[in-house]
Structure 1
Amino acid sequence: MSSDSLIGIIGLGYVGLPLSLRFAQCGSRVLGLDIDPTKVNKLTAGETYILHIPEKDIAAAVSEGRFRATTDFSQAAECNALIICVPTPLAAGNEPDLSYVLNTGRAIAPYLQKGQLVVLESTTYPGTTDGELREVLEAGSGLIAGVDFHLAFSPEREDPGNPLSDVSRIPKVIGGLTPACQQRAMEVYGRAIQTLVPVDSCRIAEAVKLTENIFRAVNIAMVNELKVVYDKMGIDIWEVIAAAKTKPFGFMPFYPGPGLGGHCIPIDPFYLTWKARQYGQETRFIELAGEVNTAMPAYVIQRCREALAAHGKELKGSKVLLLGIAYKPNVDDDRESPAYVLWEMLEEAGADVVYHDPHVPVIRPSREHGHFAGRLSVDLSAENLASYDLVLLATNHQAVDYPLIAENARLIVDTRNAFGQLLKGQPHYYKA
């Protein structure tokens, strides 16, 4: 693959944009394709719209002619490789929603060229790449996968907000429809990724990603369940985990929270659950983990009720400050954030809720929680904090003045142990 080849990356979000910049930094020319003209216009101007992606990196790639963005999918015909990085959410009943993947396939199919490579990176169930996606590509192009064009699956492994997460150093799993498809994908990714991990098929590569995320979901469910059990015993789960992780073998720390967030862990296990049913198989362990994690917001709300009751108040009519709306610390990504579930449950109980998040100054429209769009983050001050009946911490961003909150809040319920050292043993501090 020549250094002058053009790589098309479809979907310029938390996965596609970092990958685009990595290829550009390695000397490839990159065409970013997205249906959102706002994103395309920002990128064309060298601007970022994702907190942890530096604007200077985008501006450099654009000014050097290594990266350009467009909404014109006909330009896919110019690319040597096309990498699909679009959402795979859940539909009603926890069923997979492949509409973004398949609509992308339909959009590029008329422009597929012989010899092109198409790679799917979106997390999905085994059989998507060589099944549904292959079908729409072949139907729309008249070409045959594995004969006229190459087809592969390579799961994304992004970890937004983690400074140690560098796309170039995260090993890349690659499964091809045929050995030639795999080899072609290895050649493309080899330009930008240090370590490649070939597997024997697209389906194995799809299963790898699901296994990684199911592992996390199940272990988070375990510590969430232990949190509830230990709390009844007067035991702090955070101290238990801190001590347990000193064991140099046989233990890996996972941490409890108010529920699962992000576009992977709350969603991906159900992709396998749905697919397993087609084979007559049950996934009881996975589904139980989902039930435990889904129950966490209700547990948090009950802790809020208990904390308020201990101070002579009810949740109904209370003023609540929700601290943190992003799904994880130090990012502006609020997809599937459990904070929104908490917010809805608080309002249903009659509370008056506002939020503060230094990385989400205004809530953007979304598929899941569109009714919150346009709400603004409130400022933090000693006077403002003292006006709330309860501060509920959902996300522990580093860019928050915890001493200010600890000193001025009347009552704090903490789902992330963010105030553990500051307020341990204080009567106005509760963990959830």
Structure 2
Amino acid sequence: MLKNLKNKIESQNSIIGIIGLGYVGLPLISAFFNKGFQVIGFDVDSKKVETLNAGKSYIKHISNEEVDKWRISGKFEATTDSARLAEADVLLICVPTPLNDTRDPDLTYVEKTTESIARTLRKGQLIILESTTYPTTTRDVMLPILETSGLKVGEDFFLAYSPEREDPGNPDFTAAGIPKVVGGYDPQSLELAVALYSQSIVKVIPVSSCEVAEACKILENTYRAVNIALVNELKMLFDRMGIDIWEVIDAAKTKPFGFQAFYPGPGLGGHCIPIDPFYLTWLARKQGLTTRFIELAGEVNSRMPDYVITRLAEFLNEQGKPIKNSKILLLGVAYKKDVDDPRESPSFFLMEELLKRGAELSYNDPHVPHLPKMRHHDLPEMSSCELTEKLLSEQDCVLIATDHSAYDCNFITSHSKFILDTRNFTKLATMTTGIIRKA
């Protein structure tokens, strides 16, 4: 069984099934398709499936031309039919793993996907979870569900975990160009998973277990969350002292060792950094421990939108205006620059609070033309306004929340009366007419 599947993988004759056609799934399709594999994409969202089968993309860094190439080749198809899971030799699970209302891990998508796989599981398949989760998920949550098929792991089918590593908006790193950590349930599963990723990924790092691979991803994102919290806290302190945190960081990063630059902002965004550390705090509670360091970082980062609103109120007060009835233009609703991903974006917290306080709010984002429905935010339907001289000049404040490269810094600073900059974007300006503050 193992030898047959390994031969199919190494000869690129295996069929790769990718479940979850979002910001992780589509780059994986690209990585395996470009190495000659036949790929089937699975998603419960029929609109995504129809779009891909029409040769169109809905993610900025995967082009229409690339998706159309998949379609024309005949080596890719997207489907909502879970019965077709049996056709794939390898199934990669890339579904969401959000937090529930009590900030505990919500594995509903992983569990339902695994149940669908179990109903069609056949001998000789390799199942790999890529969704970010807490250590023991693959072994304790997925495996019992898969074994309801009556098949035995390590003999009839194989199971592994390999955390997704994506950096949307960064042209220097694609899915194929980022080293891949892989942990197998058993040696046979690890051998197959390493063989698979070695076909399409620049470097594969095998580790001793699924749990090590799961913990690796949590460590990566907790490391970032804690360090961002540190600079966010220092930002609030240095603001009060009249010290520019951005200049401090620029000075500190000249040290060639012992320091890595992290930057403050209006809050954490994206699907990983605001969420993943809480998997670890939940797991620690189950072990009878507390993770005070991580929880403190979460508190600091989660209060940054409130800090921005406070700074905005102070800024407007200097002009003799309250937030209520002030015209405020928010620039950028994506969670980071040059992406079209709004998940967990701090801009939504800012917009909610501004509307609650009676601001006359508008927004612009070249990558997010319409405000999407977000399950944790109740915002009205809004569309991105055209960024004109007239629009900028009419605002009581332009609030820079995301520093997209598409924004012309001099155009914005030349035509805005008041700017509150949360990203140090205006440091690029050589022409300014209004008042600029940082938050």
Q: TM-score range by the shorter chain?
A: over 0.9
1:412 aligns with 419
The match for 1:18 is 27
Q: Deviations over 1:342-373 (max 9, x none)?
A: 1111112221211100000112233333x336
Are 2:28 and 1:31 aligned? no
Shift of 1:144: 2.3
Does the 8 A contact of 2:410 with 2:432 survive in 1? no
For 2:252 and 2:75, locate their aligned partners in 1 and report how far apart those are by CA, in whole Å: 48
1:287-334, CA deviations, whole angstroms, 9 ceiling, x for partnerless residues? Answer: 000000001011100110111011111111111111100000001000
**CA–CA distance in structure 1, aligned partners of residues 347 and 313 of structure 2:** 17
Count how many residue pairs are aligned between Structure 1 and Structure 2.
430
Is structure 2 residue 390 aligned with structure 1 residue 377?
no
| Correspondence 1:174 to 2:173 | no
Mean alpha-carbon deviation: is it higher for 358-367 or for 231-240? 358-367
Q: CA deviation at 1:426?
A: 7.5
Alpha-carbon spacing, 1:175–1:214, altered in 2? closer, same or farther (3 Å) = same
Counterparts of 2:110 and 2:61, CA distance in 1: 25
Partner of 1:332: 340
Counterpart of 2:141 in structure 1: which amino acid?
Answer: E
- Which deviations, in whole Å up to 9, do the C-alpha atoms of 1:196-248 show, x marking residues without a partner? 00000000100000000000000000000000111111100000111111110
* Matched AA of 2:205: V
The question of whether the paired residues in 1 share the 8 Å contact of 2:410 and 2:430 is answered with: no
Aligned match for 1:396, one of 383, 392, 403 = 403
Give the distance between the partners of 2:39 and 2:375, measured in 1 at CA.
Answer: 29
Is 1:351 the counterpart of 2:359 in the alignment? Answer: yes
Q: Unaligned 5+ residue runs, structure 1?
A: none
Aligned residue in 1 for 2:130: 121
Alignment match, 1:137: 146
> What's the TM-score, normalizing by structure 2?
0.96
Give the counterpart letter for 2:153 in structure 1: A
Identify which range, 419-428 or 32-41, moves more after superposition.
Answer: 419-428
Tell me whether 1:51 sits opposite 2:79 in the alignment. Answer: no
Q: TM-score, normalised by structure 1?
A: 0.97
In structure 2, stretches of 5+ residues that fail to align are 1-8
* Aligned residue in 2 for 1:289: 297
2:157 aligns with 149
Give matches, 1:231-242, under 5 Å. Answer: 231-242=239-250
- The alpha carbon displacement at 1:31 in A equals 0.4
Equivalent of 1:89, from 82, 98, 102? 98
| Counterpart residue type for residue 377 of structure 1 | S
Give the Cα–Cα distance (whole angstroms) in 2 for the partners of residues 146 and 16 of structure 1.
25
In structure 2, C-alpha distance between the alignment counterparts of 1:57 and 1:44, rounded to whole Å: 12
Secondary structure at 1:430 match in 2 = strand
Mean Cα displacement is larger for which, 175-184 or 185-194?
185-194
1:317 and 1:380 mapped to 2: Cα distance? 21
RMSD: 1.3
For residues 74 and 296 of structure 2, the distance between their equivalents in structure 1, rounded to whole angstroms, comes to 50
Aligned to 1:305: 313
- For residue 177 of structure 1, what is the amino acid of its counterpart? Y
Q: Which amino acid aligns with 1:16?
A: G
Report the equivalent of 1:317: 325
Counterpart-to-counterpart distance in 2, 1:426 and 1:381: 16
1:138-174 deviation line (CA, Å, top 9, x unaligned): 22x2222223210000000000000111211211000
Matches of 1:166 and 1:323, distance apart in 2: 27
Aligned CA distance change for structure 1 residues 373 and 73 (closer, same or farther; 3 Å): farther
Corresponding residue SS for 1:273: helix
Query: How is 1:252-267 mapped onto 2 (pairs within 5 angstroms)?
Result: 252-267=260-275
Distance 1:427 1:383, change over 3 A: closer
Deviation at 1:86, TM superposition (A): 0.5
Moved more, 239-248 or 402-411: 402-411
CA change 1:26–1:373 in 2 (3 A) is farther
Among 193, 197, 208, the residue aligned to 1:189:
197
**Contact 2:162–2:183 (CA under 8 A) maintained in structure 1:** yes
Amino acid at match of 1:274: W
Aligned partners of 1:420, 1:129: CA distance in 2, in Å? 46
Give the residue type in structure 1 aligned to 2:404: H
Q: Percent identity?
A: 54
8 Å CA contact 2:38–2:75 kept in 1: the answer is: yes
C-alpha separation in 1, matches of 2:391 and 2:86: 56
Q: CA separation of 1:42/1:56 partners in 2, compared to 1, >3 Å: closer, same or farther?
A: same
Moved over 6 A (4+): 423-427
Aligned counterparts of 1:187 and 1:39: Cα–Cα separation in 2: 30
